[in-house]
Amino acid sequence: MVQSALDGYNTCIFAYGHTGSGKTYTMEGPGIPNSDMDLPIEEQSTKDGKGMIPRAVEQIWMSAEQLKEYHDCEGDMKPPASCLLFQVRTPQQVYELLARASHNRSVGFTNMNERSSRSHSVFQLRLTGLNSFTTETVSGLPLHCNPAKNGHDPPNADFAVLRLIDLAGSERLNSSGVTGQRLKETQHINKSLTHLGDVIAALANKDAHVLYRKFKLTYLLQNSLGGNSKTLMFVNISPRLNDLNETISSLRFATKVNACEIGTAKKQTKM
């Protein structure tokens, strides 16, 4: 997938599953600990134990942006205030950015996970490169930090973006034991994940109109789901018997996604 991004394709890797099933571990590995932010990711785990994000960073360095979708609100399509863009020139700078983002990510205690992510994390890598034969430059551009007024990408936006996404985990309300603000957060997360399933079902059915814009999560993933991108999904499940219902739900979602044909990816560069 990283090589496809370097070749000029938009690519997307995301982890889906209920809370506590290992999504963040899949994407980040055992690194980015909350207790020691000074320890670089590459020193926190072996090569085999690293997550998808550190593995990708090892191969390339680029501009990177971290989006944190907290309380994904229905119909709210404003550019997220938490979208930050950083220019980085070494993998270590990306690791430091990841550690900061992980430290700032909203988490909360529930009966199912004592450190449950209360937000979806979207880490976008804008690829910038130089063709050594033609001396032409190819660069990445963030898709949704500064969208065109009509909501579409600008006409000269020939770019490749690698998205690495750690979705917040779904939780059954009667099992989570949350109340008040945490209850509202759980409801928002479940709604956005349910709508993600609805969008994928609409794509599988080849519906003429797909409601990407109903939630920010699917709006941000529009280019990844709509046929112009190469997309890989990890489905995380738990071996615990108490999580059987959530595991079945996740596997059904995986079956739905596997049946979805989104078309052929197109190169986004002119190199």
CATH of the domain at 209: 3.40.850.10
What pLDDT is attached to residue 9? 82
| Span 40-67, average pLDDT | 64
User: Domain for residue 183, yes or no?
Assistant: yes
What pLDDT is attached to residue 234? 92
The neighbouring-strand residues paired with 30 are none
Specify whether the CB–CB gap between 12 and 163 falls below 8 A: yes
pLDDT grade, residue 144 (50/70/90)? very low
Q: Is 17 annotated as a binding residue?
A: yes
Q: Is 21 annotated as a binding residue?
A: yes
Look at residue 43 and tell me whether its pLDDT is greater than 90.
no
At 183, which helix (H) or strand (E)? helix 180-204
Q: Is 23 annotated as a binding residue?
A: yes
Q: Is 8 annotated as a binding residue?
A: no
User: Domain for residue 90, yes or no?
Assistant: yes
User: Domain for residue 269, yes or no?
Assistant: no
Bigger pLDDT: 31 vs 144: 31
pLDDT grade, residue 248 (50/70/90)? very high
- Tell me how far apart the 2 most distant CA atoms of the chain are, in Å: 61
**Three-class SS of residue 267?**
strand
Q: What is the pLDDT of residues 201-244, one digit of tens each?
A: 888 788 888 898 888 888 888 878 876 788 889 999 989 898 89
Q: Is 19 annotated as a binding residue?
A: yes
Per the structure, how many domains does the chain have?
1
Q: What is the pLDDT of residues 118-132, one digit of tens each?
A: 578 888 877 766 666
Bigger pLDDT: 244 vs 62: 244
User: Domain for residue 263, yes or no?
Assistant: no
What pLDDT is attached to residue 129? 64
Task: Report the predicted TM-score, pTM, of the whole model to 2 decimal places.
Answer: 0.70
Pick from 84-93, 151-160, 202-211: least confident? 151-160
Range of the domain at 21: 2-258
Residue 162 CA to residue 268 CA, distance in Å, equals 12
User: Domain for residue 127, yes or no?
Assistant: yes
User: Domain for residue 266, yes or no?
Assistant: no
Detail the DSSP E strand segments found in 94-189.
107-108, 116-117, 119-126, 129-130, 137-138, 161-166
Q: Is 24 annotated as a binding residue?
A: yes
User: Domain for residue 213, yes or no?
Assistant: yes
User: Domain for residue 253, yes or no?
Assistant: yes
